[in-house]
Amino acid sequence: MADPTQQPFGSVFGDWITTAVYAGDAFTYSGSAEPIRDFSLHPATHVLHYGSACFEGLKGHRQPDGGVAIFRLDDHVRRLRQSAERLMLPVPEFDMVRQMIIDAVAANADAAPDPPGSLYIRPTLIGTERNIGAAARPTNEALLYILTSPVGDYFAGGVRPLTIVVETKVPRTTPQFGMVKSGANYAMALIPTVQARRSLGADQVLFAPNGDVTETGAANFFVVDAERIITRALDESFLHGVTRASLITIAADLGYEVEERELYVDELIEWSGKGEMCLTGTAAIIAPVGTLVVEGQPHRVGDGQPGPNTLRLREALVKAQTGGPDAHGWRTPV
Ligand code: PLP
């Protein structure tokens, strides 16, 4: 097989999946991994009409002893359950989801690339009731499956300074779905993201409705300098990234001050002259921002190159994922 880390992120898949079916008020896990296969869905399936779908994204990392360890497994299981709850999908039991992820990673462990590659894990929950009349009520049948994908870099070109366009008019999603990891949120971010890519060569859009900085289409956002890191305080309007939480812990361990508060675009413009900025996410890890485009005007961030503090924090996070001391108990060996 061609080296999956050289293929576009998410386009190569592990040979095994795990599945659980919800019917009659309970999930039933088949109990072991199955060969990956196409699903057959009736044209009336709930998810195809009413958006009853949510997912997670986490990673398994190859360790120095040759095994694979899943990073912050329990946090991702919790967030999947939270997404399900907010979409009124059946909420799968914590221990079952956890075991299904472990079993899927174990079955695909041979496909996990060495660092800097990893095994991306995509738990997905969809509403499968056949009923086009069920627009105003939850699905009563569902399918949960754990898909894996050996991956390299999310942003083509590796660690490089990203160009981020700041969008001040359109929010990424609606306030009640900010904390939900569902496809509809990504669909809503698509037009501004594609426009920014086409017209300005941007890598991502930072959504800051009325100047109030939230997050990008697929990552959280930080301002960094030698003393501190700053990010938006948690509220219901955006996805509470597990990488965001990890960076906050790691930065505090390294002696940085952590400011979780409101952050406005005007302040970002001031910061661009003197500080660093980065995106955080399971896929993006910690990705440096080189240019911020506001109202069509490019602002170079620092000297336009990945900043030393961003790189230092990134290295510390990668160590915590790939075999350094597990000071916070974040790794689950498989
Ligand atoms: N925000 C959005 C919209 C995302 O899609 C992601 C990626 O999952 C994140 C933030 C970062 O979350 P995490 O660090 O848990 O991957």
- Residues 111, 18 contacting (CB under 8 angstroms): no
Binding site membership of 189 for ligand 1 (Cβ less than 6 Å): no
Which numbered atom of ligand 1 lies nearest the CA of 283? Answer: 16
Task: Kindly give the number of the ligand 1 atom that is closest to the alpha carbon of 215.
Answer: 1
Task: Tell me what the mean pLDDT of segment 156-167 comes to.
Answer: 90
For strand 68-71 and strand 331-333, is the pairing parallel, antiparallel, or unpaired? antiparallel
CA 172 to ligand 1: nearest atom:
3
CB of 241 closer than 6 angstroms to any ligand 1 atom: yes
- List all residues 6 or more positions away from 327 whose beta carbon is below 8 Å from its beta carbon: 253, 320
Average pLDDT over residues 73-96: 98
Q: Which amino acid is at 59?
A: K
Mutate to test the pocket of ligand 1, among 74, 282, 321 (most ligand atoms within 8 A of CB): 282
* Mean pLDDT of the 309-333 span: 97
Average pLDDT over residues 126-138: 97
Identify the band that residue 223 occupies on the pLDDT scale cut at 50, 70 and 90: very high
Both structure tokens of 310: 């961003």
Ligand 1 mutation target, pool 205, 220, 280, most atoms within 8 A of CB: 220
244 lines ligand 1 (CB under 6 A): yes
The DSSP bridge pattern shows strands 297-300 and 285-294 to be: antiparallel
Which is it for strands 228-232 and 257-261: parallel, antiparallel or unpaired? parallel
Confidence category of residue 107, pLDDT binned at 50, 70, 90: very high
Give the span between the Cα atoms of 326 and 321, in whole angstroms. 8
Q: In angstroms, rounded to a whole number, what is the distance separating the alpha carbons of residues 291 and 103?
A: 42
Cα 48 to middle of ligand 1, angstroms? 24
Task: Evaluate if pTM is beyond 0.95.
Answer: yes
